[in-house]
Amino acid sequence: MGDNIFAKIIAKEIPAQIVFEDDRVMAFWDIAPKAPVHILVVPKKDIPNIGAAQTSDEPVLGHLLTVAAQLARQEGIDATGYRLVINKGPHAGESVPHLHVHLLGGREMGWPPG
């Protein structure tokens, strides 16, 4: 497992506001929310970023998305809508080297992103 903040959350070495967990993924509230709903969905497997994902990771990548959609329903933002974001690399503002899907909702968002 990589040595980064999300690896430590997955290992339960540091606390997080966990909203979902199964054998493959974990979801927890973002510590600095950018929207009324801002949850991060992460694979338990050490995948540093989407560019490092392998074909064999496709089942867990799909699971990240269906878990995110389920959490959106749970948080009551399915009807108003939401955005799923994966940042990769410096131009996208990636800051934690463990793959994560941002679930953002609860307010209207602009497009294109800044």
Interface positions with ligand AMP (CB under 6 A):
5, 16, 28, 30-32, 40, 87, 93-96
Q: Which is nearer to ligand AMP, 56 or 112 (CB)?
A: 112
How far is 5 from 77, CA to CA, in rounded Å? 27
Considering the complex, what minimum distance in angstroms separates the CB of residue 29 from ligand AMP? 7
CB of 49 to ligand AMP, least distance (A): 9
HSE, CB side, 13 Å, CA atoms: give it for residue 14. Answer: 9
CB nearer to ligand AMP: give 28 or 77: 28
Which residue among 91, 98, 100, 102 is the active-site one?
Answer: 100
Count of positions (residues) in the chain: 114
Task: Tell me whether residue 102 is one of the annotated catalytic residues.
Answer: no
> What's the Cα-to-Cα distance from 89 to each of 59, 62, 84, 106, rounded to whole Å?
23, 21, 17, 26
Catalytic residue positions, numbered:
100
